[in-house]
A and B are shown apart, each in its own frame.
Chain A
Amino acid sequence: MNKQIEVTEENQVVKDRAKQAYKEGFVTDIESFTIPPGLDEETIKLISSKKDEPAWLLDYRLDAFRQWQKMDTPEWAKLKIPAIDFQAISYYSSPNANNENAPKSLDEVDPKLIETYDKLGVPLHERERLAGVAVDVVFDSVSVGTTFKAELKKVGVIFSSFSEAVQDHPELVKKYLGSVVPARDNYFAALNAAVFSDGSFVYIPKGVRCPMELSTYFRINAINTGQFERTLIVAEDDSYVSYLEGCTAPMRDENQLHAAVVELVAMDNAKIKYSTVQNWYPGDEEGNGGIYNFVTKRGNCQGKNSKISWTQVETGSAITWKYPSCILRGDNSSGEFYSVALTNNHQQADTGTKMIHLGKNTKSTVISKGISVGKSQNAYRGLVRVAKKADHARNFTQCDSLLIGKSCAAHTFPYTESANMTAQLEHEATTSKISEDQLNYCLQRGITEEDAISLIVDGFCKEVFKELPMEFAVEAKALLDISLEGAIG
């Protein structure tokens, strides 16, 4: 699929896509090496040895595992989380049957995988040639290929799978792994630290503006497998990077677990823009199946004037538990969180952000758009904390909820804690329904009810969509339309 065409013919592509249900729901029939279900120290040693990891990393994992065993599942979120049997899950699955070495270049990648990504609209070769977006592709537990590596290397940017980074840049990984999200941070972060399999690693050296968008595409394929990826992005002084993340999974009746950790570090004047379009399989109309998505994402604005911006469009997963956050440590640093979370049928989402103001003149902006359809539950949970020394910290939070139908619900839980008198915190919240008047107005102009709803929802999400890179914005719109299906009547 040619992305350039998609952009100009935006509307048509959106319409065509809207006709399809969860089109990413297919299974790739590929031989894979999957370790048996179960989790104990032996499992972790096996994962670590598969990856030929240094001893310090195995110790890190084992330490995290021991912490995790002492922890309980968090229960504060407005979610009904069924008990998860961690012994029934396989913690490692790799698509290369012999499981020797990961392919070195795209030409070595199994054609079936290339086909899978073509079907998903992530044509590896094409992307490489046309779109100018570098992609790291993670299939189940391993990275199957990273594009544009050589070009990036010329300017000093490191973009590779996490496993490769452990081999090639152990000093960087060792320095930053767990520096933003410590292993014991929370239940799912601890689990991830123990069993994480792969993910992406990005390092932008001092003064470099990354010449292209970097992206990772996560795909769960194997049955009864969890995905536990780990992403680490470090931006040195005066650097810039924009990073995109997309995810899909097959339609299965069983629930599958996804517990990821993302850590960002921004030094003086560095800017990191992190965008996610999350489209894990949400389960069927009755609420069977779907991904349980428990993610810890956190950015450390370590340097002065640094900036971290999170943009997320969450349409998938049966359960979403996710709070991309910013620690505003450097003076004058700023954090942003732009979010669209749409839930339909029996989906549940509890998502939001934490903005922790530690430095002086730090600034944060939170724009959250929750859309609830069907019987779904959608909660925004946000914390703005201003520390004693954070003079003149400012936050603006806007939380809008849109309800479509009568059986869904939206909830807003804004928390603020300020220890500094000079803080300026502003909070706005609205809840609205798509009004009959708006629908009628569209109908009178000839727009069908389905298209009218999608138009109104698009408009509702505008402030967030405009933060996304163009290609992603088109995709996000298409996804919303698909997710809105059955919203009428």
Chain B
Amino acid sequence: MLKIENVFANAGDKEILKGLSLEVKPGEVHAIMGPNGAGKSTLGNLLAGMPYVQPQGGSVQYMGKDLLSLEPEERAAIGVFLAFQYPVEIPGVNNMYFLRTALNAQRKYRGEDAMDSAQFLRMVKQKIKDMNMRDDLLKRPVNVGFSGGEKKRNEVFQMGVLEPKLAILDETDSGLDIDALKIVADGVNQLRSADRSFIIITHYQRLLDYIEPDFVHVLADGKIVKSGDKNLALELEEQGYGWLNN
């Protein structure tokens, strides 16, 4: 599914990723932990093709394609989704209209028919119910006046509607109370399937109580410095990241 090999990348003119490698197979859930400023968001932004991250070397293969050569909207259309650490507000654009525009743009790129508004409405209503979220989310402008938690839930809801192949969640659990955390985790778990993979960036082990990862990695100073199974997350929770330096 995804093979990152020895990637270097800058944010601004600072070198952030320094020879990072990671392989994600279909159906796997990988958790990425690590200290602030380590480059976790930079990795997510690099994969999504956000222009403020400039690749400097190495390669990223995604489903047989050279991911770094594609435009961000093309990457989205072939199934790369990033739940942003800081979701953006778009005043005056209602969430549902935004999502239908996004979905139909992706379908068009893939050569599929557009979904009409009636079909879309039915689908979205069902999703919002399945994901235990509130209807009013649909009518409000994208993220405008949303609380921190609502913004994160909206990211997960968008993921549910767009049904990506590779979903990257960047600190989607930060700032959530336990109920919201469960809703977010449920959203992810409902989508888990044999051909869909997740990269979950988090600071806290507690999310991993609800979303059980196949692998846990520690990203520090622009590289994966340690990988393990879910027990690694527990160790990190107890001991912090300091011991990794030794």
**Inter-chain contacts of B99 with A (CB < 8 A):** 445
Closest to B50 in A: A440
Task: Kindly identify which residue among A11, A442, A444, A461 contacts B104, using a CB–CB cutoff of 8 Å.
Answer: A11
Is A118 close to B, CB under 8 A? no
Assembled-state Cα–Cα distance A456/B143 (Å): 13
A444 touches B72 (CB 8 A): yes
Task: Kindly identify which residue among B71, B84, B93, B162 contacts A459, using a CB–CB cutoff of 8 Å.
Answer: B93
The B-contacting residues of A in range 402-457, CB under 8 angstroms, are 435-438, 440-449, 451, 455-456
Assembled-state Cα–Cα distance A451/B162 (Å): 18
**Inter-chain contacts of A11 with B (CB < 8 A):** 100-101, 104, 117
**Inter-chain contacts of A437 with B (CB < 8 A):** 88
Task: Kindly identify which residue among A435, A446, A449, A462 contacts B106, using a CB–CB cutoff of 8 Å.
Answer: A446
The A-contacting residues of B in range 87-103, CB under 8 angstroms, are 87-93, 98-103
Q: A444-B72, A444-B76, A446-B73 are in contact. Are A455 and B106 (CB under 8 A)?
A: no
A438 touches B92 (CB 8 A): no
B90 touches A438 (CB 8 A): yes
Looking at the assembled complex, report how far the CB atom of B3 sits from the nearest CB atom of chain A, in whole angstroms.
Answer: 21
Among A11, A446, A448, max chain B CB count under 10 A is at A446
Looking at the assembled complex, report how far the CB atom of A217 sits from the nearest CB atom of chain B, in whole angstroms.
Answer: 28
Is A8 close to B, CB under 8 A? yes
B73 touches A461 (CB 8 A): no
B101 touches A443 (CB 8 A): no
Among A9, A11, A440, max chain B CB count under 10 A is at A440
B92 touches A444 (CB 8 A): no
B114 touches A12 (CB 8 A): yes
A438 touches B88 (CB 8 A): yes
**Inter-chain contacts of A445 with B (CB < 8 A):** 76, 98-99, 102, 105-106, 158, 162
Assembled-state Cα–Cα distance A8/B119 (Å): 12
Closest to B107 in A: A446
Is B82 close to A, CB under 8 A? yes
B90 touches A444 (CB 8 A): no
State which size class the interface on B falls in.
35 or more
Closest to B79 in A: A446
Is B77 close to A, CB under 8 A? yes
Looking at the assembled complex, report how far the CB atom of B23 sits from the nearest CB atom of chain A, in whole angstroms.
Answer: 23
**Inter-chain contacts of B52 with A (CB < 8 A):** 436, 440
**Inter-chain contacts of B82 with A (CB < 8 A):** 444
Is B19 close to A, CB under 8 A? no
Is A458 close to B, CB under 8 A? yes
Closest to B80 in A: A444
The B-contacting residues of A in range 444-480, CB under 8 angstroms, are 444-449, 451, 455-456, 458-463
**Inter-chain contacts of A460 with B (CB < 8 A):** 91-92
A462 touches B92 (CB 8 A): yes
Secondary structure type dominating chain A contacts: helix
B84 touches A448 (CB 8 A): no
Closest to A10 in B: B117
**Inter-chain contacts of B103 with A (CB < 8 A):** 446
The B-contacting residues of A in range 86-101, CB under 8 angstroms, are none
Q: A437-B88, A444-B82 are in contact. Are A456 and B101 (CB under 8 A)?
A: no
**Inter-chain contacts of A435 with B (CB < 8 A):** 88
Task: Kindly identify which residue among A9, A440, A451, A456 contacts B105, using a CB–CB cutoff of 8 Å.
Answer: A451
Looking at the assembled complex, report how far the CB atom of B138 sits from the nearest CB atom of chain A, in whole angstroms.
Answer: 15
Is B141 close to A, CB under 8 A? yes
B92 touches A458 (CB 8 A): yes
The B-contacting residues of A in range 298-323, CB under 8 angstroms, are none
Closest to B84 in A: A441
Assembled-state Cα–Cα distance A134/B4 (Å): 63
**Inter-chain contacts of A459 with B (CB < 8 A):** 90-93, 141
**Inter-chain contacts of A9 with B (CB < 8 A):** 116
B77 touches A446 (CB 8 A): yes
B92 touches A441 (CB 8 A): no
Closest to A462 in B: B92
Assembled-state Cα–Cα distance A447/B91 (Å): 17
B48 touches A447 (CB 8 A): no
Among A11, A445, A449, A451, max chain B CB count under 10 A is at A445
Q: A459-B141, A460-B91 are in contact. Are A448 and B73 (CB under 8 A)?
A: yes
**Inter-chain contacts of A8 with B (CB < 8 A):** 116-117
Is B145 close to A, CB under 8 A? no
**Inter-chain contacts of B90 with A (CB < 8 A):** 438, 441-442, 455-456, 459
Question: Can you add 10 more A-B contacts, CB < 8 Å, to A9-B116, A445-B158?
Answer: A8-B117, A440-B50, A440-B72, A443-B76, A444-B76, A445-B76, A446-B109, A451-B105, A458-B92, A459-B93
Interface residues in chain B, defined as those with a beta carbon under 8 Å from any beta carbon in chain A: 48-52, 71-73, 76-77, 81-82, 84, 87-93, 98-106, 109, 114, 116-117, 141, 158, 162
Nearest 4 CB-CB pairings of A with B: A459-B92, A462-B92, A446-B76, A459-B93
12 contacts between A and B (CB under 8 A): A436-B51, A437-B88, A441-B87, A441-B90, A443-B71, A444-B72, A444-B81, A444-B82, A445-B158, A446-B106, A449-B73, A455-B93
